[in-house]
Structure 1
């Protein structure tokens, strides 16, 4: 049986489950916003004890630590399955990707497992982020010379 592309597209649309886009977007928005709100609460708490610069550093460290701790029992992955992109807030999502890879390859040993594969997901982000910063830095420098 030969299907024309339009009929095949209709059959595919009919077979796919309906995706509640609005609900998914709202979940992502509120979960991402909650993570950011938690970061702001941490920052304000650190500001009670330290200056602005150190409070910002401690906030980042706290968010990374909390993200790692929530990743260990698998809660971050469950939240990510429900909230989608809302859990990709850069600092917590990055910490989650590093810890997840470390957990996944721990059985292979500390050197050949964790050590060599800990940045399997985060590595490209680091590499391309560094490359992009160099490129934009050069562009910025050239624009300043003109």
Structure 2
């Protein structure tokens, strides 16, 4: 009897959730993500061409562009602009390097009122931390596998 009542409550809850969840258009969301992600890449390409015109070597220009794009992502997050871009662009704003800067600056700003050590310092990598850990760990594993395959191929 109690199990049936519990299932009824779950069904009612699911119906309420379905009524409140905003419906999104997959096509519209994909187009916004594509356009905004492309515009972010265009900005990066602009800076790449600018640095190349100043005589920076092709080998080094990537470092400069990455630095500028991270700065722009962090700066726009600080101004509150990047979050508005993310509302419309979705993954188009998260995937590029500017999204990485946003994932570090957003929690830092949110917990700023708790101080620089227990707020900003401890919460800065709440979102980006796992990404860094798994990214670095997987690159090490792939590097070891690559090394072993090369050694066995000799």
- What TM-score bracket applies, with the shorter chain setting the length? 0.7 to 0.9
CA RMSD of aligned residues (A): 2.3
Q: Which residue of 1 aligns with 2:62?
A: 56
Q: Normalising by the residue count of structure 1, what TM-score does the alignment of the two structures yield?
A: 0.87
Aligned partner of 1:35 in structure 2 is 40
Radius of gyration: which is bigger? 2
- The answer to whether 1:99 aligns with 2:105 is yes
Matching residue within 61, 71, 87 for 1:81: 87
Distance in 1 separating the partners of 2:120 and 2:16: 41
Superposed, 1:1-146 pairs within 5 Å as 15=19, 17-49=22-54, 50-146=56-152
**Aligned partners of 1:107, 1:74: CA distance in 2, in Å?**
17
Would you say the 8 A contact 2:37–2:96 is kept in 1?
no
Unmatched 5+ stretches in structure 1: none
SS at match of 2:60: helix
Normalization by structure 2: what TM-score?
0.83
Aligned residues: 143
Sort the Cα spacing of 1:138 and 1:63 in 2 relative to 1 into closer, same or farther, 3 A: same
